[in-house]
Amino acid sequence: MKNKLKDAVYGFAVADALGVPYEFKKRGTFNCSDMVGYGTWNQPKGTWSDDTSMTIATCKSIKDKDTIDPEDIMKNFKSWYFNGTFTAHNEVFDIGGTTEQAILTGQGINDVNANGNGSLMRILPLVFTNCTKEEIIKVSSLTHAHEWSTNACVLYVAIAKSLLNGENIREILQSINGAEPFNRLPYIHKLLEEEIRSSGFVVETLEAALWCVATTSNYQDCVCKAVNLGNDTDTVAAIAGGLAGIIYGFENIPKKWIEELANKELMNKCLF
């Protein structure tokens, strides 16, 4: 199982780093086909963002506590935010407003207008635990407590666990009970690119990531397709990349991209 966690986290982090230079750029104004640096955040090639930082912070807590301990996970988030722990280059350069507010106040936000993708982007480690639905909701609610965000996390974990069991992504999606606002998921793979929105809204992020996974047949195509959707490029790609890592494995992530990825030593120390 540890190897599958590595597959997923590296799939996630590489995709995150691919997307960082293009964040907020409009679809069609660029083309991502390789790892590059600078761009939006002026960061060196291979730099990953808050998505990977909060994911490995969650991993480290699970490793240290040998259980899902929301209080300890939040302690790691605070260490990341205040001290630059769990970062690519010892600095935080990107954080969502809801996440920042929750860290500063110690209270997750339960508001329909606070449904960014900030909890979905860090929920991946729970796939590799015997988590309950209630535990997923608690971990999401550290920052994003509204039911749309918590339900998105529950769906993502369930989909990833099915992929771990060798199930096919399209069959998994078609079996989802697509209640609002997730009603498009069972047929998301049938939609055209112009019907896919890649914003930071949690529902649209989940749709975009799953669309990329379900309409490609290898890791590289999946994550480049996700970045090239534009807008929230790093998070959409990372969420897609975590699933693609599970499907295709570490060995099918381009070796060059893994070599270019920043601070792999830290990532490896956090894996459980």
Cut 0.85: pTM above it: yes
> Is the pLDDT at 215 greater than 70, yes or no?
yes
What is the per-residue burial (b if ≥16 Cβ within 10 Å, else e) of 215-247?
bbeebbebbbbbbbbbbbbbbbbbbbbbbbbbb
**Domain residue limits at 236:** 2-270
CATH number for the domain spanning 68: value is 1.10.4080.10
* Predicted confidence (pLDDT) per residue in 84-115, tens digit: 999 999 999 999 999 999 999 999 999 999 99
CA angle 101, 104, 108 (to 5 degrees): 55
Q: What is the percent of the chain where pLDDT is above 90?
A: 97
Mean per-residue pLDDT, 248-264: 98
Q: What is the pLDDT of residue 177?
A: 84
Q: What is the mean pLDDT of residues 66-92?
A: 97
User: Is the pLDDT confidence value at 34 over 90?
Assistant: yes
Contact call for residues 238 and 266 (beta carbons, < 8 A): no
pLDDT at 1: 67
- The span from the CA of 138 to the CA of 223, in Å, is 29
- Mean pLDDT over residues 119-147, rounded? 98
Where residue 178 falls among pLDDT bands split at 50, 70, 90? confident
- What mean pLDDT value characterizes the chain? 97
Instruction: Count up the domains in the chain and report the number.
Output: 1
